Each structure stands twice: as structure tokens, then as C-alpha cells.
Structure 1
Amino acid sequence: MSTEIKAPVFPESVAEGTVATWHKQPGEACSRDELIVDIETDKVVLEVVAPADGVIEEIVKNEGDTVESGEVVGTFKEGAAGESKPAESKSEGEAEKKSEEPKEEAKSEGGSGEAILSPAARKLAEEKGIDPNAVKGTGKDGRVTKEDVQKHADGSQSSGAAKPSAPMPEVNVEQGERPEKRVPMTRLRASIAKRLVNAQQDAAMLTTFNEVNMKPIMELRKQYKESFEKRHGVKLGFMSFFAKAATEALKRFPAVNASIDGNDMVYHGYQDIGVAVSTDRGLVVPVLRDTDSMGLADIEKGIIDYGTKAKQGKLGIEEMTGGTFTITNGGIFGSLISTPILNPPQTAILGMHKIQERPMAVNGQVEILPMMYLALSYDHRMIDGKEAVQFLVAIKEMLEDPARILLDV
């Protein structure tokens, strides 16, 4: 029986998408819930999985083609036997054995609470010696898919993860020639470019700088590093301190936590902090909601979860919508100082940078201290220079004396 393969229903804010990658080709065998095609929008990458065991019958929309919400991108033939990839080829006896396995449910051996596996997932689990019950299923009704097993085996990557841009092909040319490669801009990167340009054109953007002595935070991390990880199951990083310091500063300076909507200034009585994450497909900004009620461990777990989803292309639009303030960390790439661009309609963004030891004057003496430059870009239509400087100084003071965060002083 043939069925249509349709693009997912896009959210209201997304008009159309582009076929990014076909993971299966016509005639190639597919297992139920196995990833077959990625649809890229200007916000996220949406995945389409096989509705049952069978084969791709026809591809209607090729890679790079534009598709609308719910539009047919191909056809699928359920129950048909297709060709497996060479790496998955089997002997006749093995193939016959597989055909005898139930298609709808393949359960792992064990007691109660057995995992439900697709045939492909079961085979991969057996090959890699993985206990299926230890794998978290993301398929329908908790079914463990082949991608779930692969993700568990790899630890951080799955076959459904966002793929890095294709590397530049090797070009054998004579000396003196200059090869070029022209690649269409992805929807996500085009959307990012448009937003950044608009932010600079529409806002009266200024940037103020300061520097913070990171020694107190570093000593605190060193002292409680092991006990924190043992108790919460996550490492204590720098971003959680910055998020908490920013949250307290936002409560003191409401204009920095506001947004502009046409001629209206909207003041928010909550703090939703976006954390910029760099991926192979472009920059995305998932949002930590109500950071005032979150502990350091909650923030660290949220950042790790978003980072993993971003790399796999699994961030939902709702996870990147809203936000009252943004933090971006160019220091992880070695940036010493920069001027971050606003994330509209927000009115401010904090830039973290590389920690570098520098000679500093302390009480008339020269000391070598781990210093970080901070940058606050803000919309002067909403925020006065005085408020921006005081906001950044407040963050600096809380980071240099972390007890201030706890005591709210």
C-alpha cells in the first residue's frame, strides 16, 4: 500500500521550508520511525520519519526544493522489501530469520518493563552489545528507534542529528588556478542575517564595556566542583553564574529587561534569558524560562539540554520563542572582546569573552589575575547610558563577590 510522505505542519510563524537532506533513496529499505528526510525552516530543522516498515517509492521534492506546510514530498510503500545498504547486507539465512521477526513490535529479552524496539533498532543493539532497556525511546508509544540506539552508543550524536555542512571537495588543479565553490545560503542562516541587519538598522545600538576578575568564581568552582557534580549530576560552569547575576541585575534595572513593540515599551515582570548556541547550521538562541526561580544546577542542566538539542537539530520553535534578555559567549572560541548585536525585540544583550591572565593593580601592588571583558550592547531608545553602565557594574560586582547573588545586595 502506497502512502504520501508529507512535510510536517509548520507553526503559524513559519510560512515555508526547504528539503535539506534525504536520508533514504527510492528502493532503499526503511524501518518504522527511521529518519527519512529533514525539512529546514528559517527557525528549526523538522524531521520526517518512516510511517512503517517499507521503502521510499518516489521522491517528489528534491534537496533544495521549497515546500509548504503539509505538502507532499514523496511516496512510501508500506511492507515492501527494499535494498539494504552494503554495510547492512546479510546472508540468506539471516535475511530469512529477519523476515520471521514481528514487524510491529520487537521486544528485548528480560523481565517487566521491556523496551519496544523496531527491528533495525534491535539488530543495531545486538551488534553493539547494548541493553535495549537502557536506551530511552523517542518513537511512537516509547518505541526505541535505530537512531535512539545509535545516540546511546555514540553518547552525544545520533544518525538524526543535524549534519555539518559538506566539506569542500578535493579539487586537483594546476598551480595558478583558483577554485571556487558556490553554495546556496540555508534558510536558517538567511533568517539570522536578516534579523541581524534589521537589528542594526532599526535600533539605536550602543555598546558599553567593563572587565571582571574571575578569580572568586574560579575558586568557588574549584572548591565545590566535585560535590556539586556528585549531588546534581552536572558540572558547575561559568554560564550559570552569569545567568543568575544577570537575573538579579535585570530585577534592579527593568528597562534592560524590557522590549519595544512599535511605539510601545513593554516591561516584563519575569526574567527569560536566551543563551546563544552555535551550531553547524547557524546561531540559535534557546530560552531559559523564569531564571529567577532556577538554581545553578537547573540552569546548567537546561543549557546542556539545549546545547545537545541544538547540535542534533531537535530544538522546537517554542524553545526559541520569547526571551527578555540574551547572553552570548564568544570566549569559548577565543574571542577577547566583541560588540554583540541585539536580539530583537529585546533591548540588551550581554557578551562574555575569553578569560585571560593580565597584570592588574590591586591595592598599589601588581597581581596577575584571570580577567574577562564584558560587553553590553543596548538600545538607546529604551535604555539610557547611565542605566546600561550601572547594569553592567552590578553584574561585575556580583561575579567578583558571588555572595551578593545570594544576599541580593
Structure 2
Amino acid sequence: MPAEIKVPTLGESVSSATIARWLKQPGESVAADEAVVELETDKVSVEVSAPVAGKLGPHEVAEGDEVEVGALLSVVEEGAGSSPAPAATAPKETGGVQPPRATSGPVARPATPPADVQREAARAEVAPLPAAAKMMTENKVAAADIGAGTGKDGRITKGDVISFLERPATPAAKPAPAASGPRSDDPREERVKMTRLRKTIANRLKDAQNTAAILTTFNEIDMSAAMKLRADYKEQFEKAHNGARLGFMSIFVRACVAALKQFPAVNAEINGDDIIYRNFVHMGIAVGGSNGLVVPVLRDADRMSFPEIESAIASFGKRARDGQLKLEELAGGTFSITNGGIYGSLMSTPILNPPQSAILGMHKIQDRPIAVNGQVVIRPMMYVALSYDHRIIDGKEAVSFLVRVKESVEDPRRLLLGL
């Protein structure tokens, strides 16, 4: 009996994914545990492997399709496979139905309507995806209220329903209608479909701007003491802690932890008419991945040591580049840090990562003249920015929080002494 390849459990609150790309074609040989298809969720990409060795059967879904957890993707016929099956072009040439014959790849399916017919049918009646339909029924939401969905052929997804339910109670202005008629592309342009991850990032950032009262406060930090500490103990630190490298991020994480304990509203979130205060810190660290920016979470960062923080961040960075981060590692953050300085950014205003209420932006270290004790000196300076939700955090708290971070980084001994 063929071994089925199905959509695996994707993590808490994730019920669907998009077929990003097929890594193996029908008729190709696959080894046990060899990746055959890549799925893209709202947060990360996931590779699904063959359960047994053999020959891959037909693709049950196409690239770009949205699939639910447990949906059948393909099957594997146990035994020796073959080279990739040639494209089934004969039906297109003859226009007739081929007689049954043995083949290592899929044959044309005459019963399937042409793509243009399918699109017309989809436009005539576009049903929400199952998970979305269930949520709409539970919340008494009509498809007309939501409008066109973001799924394939305009189908309403669960994310569309969640976004609709999270909209403010006051009526929001409707988006401007698209320009009439299709856009005329220049021959020198290239049109690429937006990935699911990129769409999710775009929607979340826009939702943050629409929902939160975002304000940013700035300060600058003299990095002299932190740089000297790193230079003095870099080699000893690496030898003592199994190759973990001493960087500035662990200093900033510990500085933020100390400031969050002093100003708990910065670590809180708004939930309906309530404010949720936390007695722990789950620190999100923004890292660049193969498919865009992701924010893995240092859980209980307030209990972590310098070497534990550096080791965890190094692991996050490597696995983000390899696309190996797990869904659960990206959820549950209470405060985030993003470092645009590694790309050369001198100053920016970071956007909140909902439902968090604040995010710290680090930037490039640059030698600048500053006044110290009445003298102009050159010091390595970094601009830092704190973007925060003014609905829950007052300006005084935000400014004081950033000053507390500045004091800790400029004199790291304060972190060791708990001052």
C-alpha cells in the first residue's frame, strides 16, 4: 500500500499552510526522510519528508495552494523509483484521451477543466477555507463583511477572519479601490508572487500601526565601557563557555531585563479592556532569515546568564539562515530588540511586534565628538530608539526606561551588582 504524505501538525494556533515549492517531482526516487515539499506558514517554512523510500506519486496539490493540517499531499510507492517523469505533453498535441499505460509520472486528467474555467468557477462561488468557515460561524460573521480573502482565488482564510475580528469597533475607512483594469507591466519588470511569510509580515506591521498609538523616543549610548569589557574578556569568555562569543547583544538583553523590572508597563500588553502585567521576560530577538525577518524568543531571559544569552542568539541566527527555526520558538515574546546596526543603520523607528507594547532598536556604532567634563572628545556612540504603545506606556516611563538601559550599557558593572 502506498505511504501517504500529509500536512503535519504545524504548531499551536497554526491550522493551514501554503505549498511553497515541490522539491521532488512525480516519478522521482525519494529516500526515507528526504524532503519532498516545502510548506510556508505565517511564521516559518517547513519541509515535509517522505515516510519511506520509493517513488513519488502525483502531486495532489499545486504550488501556491493553501492546505489544512492532515491534507494529503502525495504518496510514495515503496520500491525503486526512476528519473523525473517527462512532462505529459501528448494530450495537448492530440487533444484526445490517451489509453491507459504504465507510467512513472502523472498523466493528464481530462476531467479537470482548463485554468480559465476554474477561475471563472472560483469567482462565481468562492467558499471560505474550512478553518475560516468554522470561525465565521462561531462569531456570526458573513463572508460579505470580510470581503475578498487573501487565500488562493480570493478564498477567505482563518487569518482574514482573525484580522476582521481584531479591527477596532469604530468603522475604519475602506481601502481605496484598485485602479480599473490590469496593470501594464514594463518588459523590463519582473512580477513575483508575494510569499505567505511576506504577506503576514506586511499585515502584522500594518495592523500594529492601525491599532497601537506608536510613539518613539531616542537616546544615545557611549559604548566605550562595553567595548572595553568585550576586548578585555573576549578570548577568556569564549574558552570558558564552549565557544560562545561575547557580543553586545547579551549586554543589551540584560540591560533591558533590568529596565523592564523597574518599569513593568513596558513588558505588559493590552487585552481588551485589561492590562496584563508579567512577572517574567520572554525577549524577542529579531534576526534575518532566508525568507525575511523573524523574531525568535529567549524564554525567561531574566533568568539567563551572559553565556546562555549569547549561545541562544548564535543558535537562533544560524537556524534562521538555514530555515530551521521551530514555530514555538517564535511565539510568546513580551518585549523585542532589533539591531539595524549590523546592516549599517544609524537611526530608525522600529515598529511594534503585536501584542507587545514596546521594542528597542539598536543601531550602528560610530565615532562622534561629544562633550565630556567640558572637553570635546571622540567616543564610539550608538543611537537607540524605543518605540512604544502610548495607550499603555506614558512618555515618562518610556524615556526613563531608555535612560535606564543607557546607564546599564555605559557602565556594565551595574548589571553585575543589580544597580
Could you tell me how far apart the structure 1 residues matched to 2:84 and 2:306 are?
A: 48
Q: Provide the residue aligned with 2:355 in structure 1.
A: 345
- 1:357 is aligned, of 358, 367, 373, to 367
Could you tell me how far apart the structure 2 residues matched to 1:298 and 1:399 are?
A: 18
Q: Provide the residue aligned with 2:238 in structure 1.
A: 229
1:248 positional shift: 0.5
1:84 positional shift: 8.3
Number of residues of Structure 1 aligned to a counterpart in Structure 2: 318
Q: Provide the residue aligned with 1:255 in structure 2.
A: 265
Q: Provide the residue aligned with 1:278 in structure 2.
A: 288
1:308 correspondence with 2:318: yes
Q: Provide the residue aligned with 2:340 in structure 1.
A: 330
- Are 2:349 and 2:385, in contact at CA under 8 Å, matched by a contact in 1? yes
List runs of 5+ in structure 1 lacking aligned partners.
86-176
1:198 correspondence with 2:207: yes
Q: Provide the residue aligned with 1:15 in structure 2.
A: 15
Report the identity percentage.
58
1:293 positional shift: 1.2
Q: What amino acid is aligned across from residue 413 of structure 2 in structure 1?
A: A
Q: Provide the residue aligned with 1:406 in structure 2.
A: 416
- 1:371 is aligned, of 352, 376, 381, to 381
1:9 positional shift: 2.2
1:24 positional shift: 1.3
1:83 positional shift: 2.8
1:280 positional shift: 2.7
- Are 1:8 and 1:46, in contact at CA under 8 Å, matched by a contact in 2? no
Q: What amino acid is aligned across from residue 223 of structure 2 in structure 1?
A: M
Q: Provide the residue aligned with 2:63 in structure 1.
A: 63
Could you tell me how far apart the structure 1 residues matched to 2:393 and 2:38 are?
A: 41
Could you tell me how far apart the structure 2 residues matched to 1:42 and 1:272 are?
A: 20
1:76 correspondence with 2:76: yes
Q: Provide the residue aligned with 2:327 in structure 1.
A: 317
SS of the equivalent of 1:251 reads helix
- Are 2:60 and 2:74, in contact at CA under 8 Å, matched by a contact in 1? yes
SS of the equivalent of 2:336 reads strand
Could you tell me how far apart the structure 1 residues matched to 2:366 and 2:266 are?
A: 28
1:12 positional shift: 4.5
TM-score, normalised with respect to structure 2: 0.74
Q: Provide the residue aligned with 2:108 in structure 1.
A: none
Could you tell me how far apart the structure 2 residues matched to 1:195 and 1:20 are?
A: 20
List runs of 5+ in structure 2 lacking aligned partners.
86-185
1:295 positional shift: 0.7
- Are 1:323 and 1:346, in contact at CA under 8 Å, matched by a contact in 2? yes
Structural mapping, 1:150-189, within 5 Å: 178-189=187-198
Q: What amino acid is aligned across from residue 275 of structure 1 in structure 2?
A: I
Q: What amino acid is aligned across from residue 26 of structure 1 in structure 2?
A: P
Could you tell me how far apart the structure 2 residues matched to 1:227 and 1:79 are?
A: 55
Q: Provide the residue aligned with 1:219 in structure 2.
A: 228
**Structure 1 residues 340-382: Cα deviation after superposition (integer angstroms, max 9, x where no partner):** 0011111110000001111111111111111000000011111
1:390 correspondence with 2:395: no
1:209 correspondence with 2:218: yes
**Structure 1 residues 16-51: Cα deviation after superposition (integer angstroms, max 9, x where no partner):** 211112111122221111111111111121221111
SS of the equivalent of 2:70 reads coil
Q: Provide the residue aligned with 2:31 in structure 1.
A: 31
Q: What amino acid is aligned across from residue 10 of structure 1 in structure 2?
A: L
Could you tell me how far apart the structure 1 residues matched to 2:4 and 2:356 are?
A: 42
SS of the equivalent of 1:332 reads helix
Backbone CA RMSD of aligned residues: 1.5
Q: Provide the residue aligned with 1:93 in structure 2.
A: none
- 1:294 is aligned, of 304, 307, 310, to 304
Could you tell me how far apart the structure 1 residues matched to 2:283 and 2:274 are?
A: 21
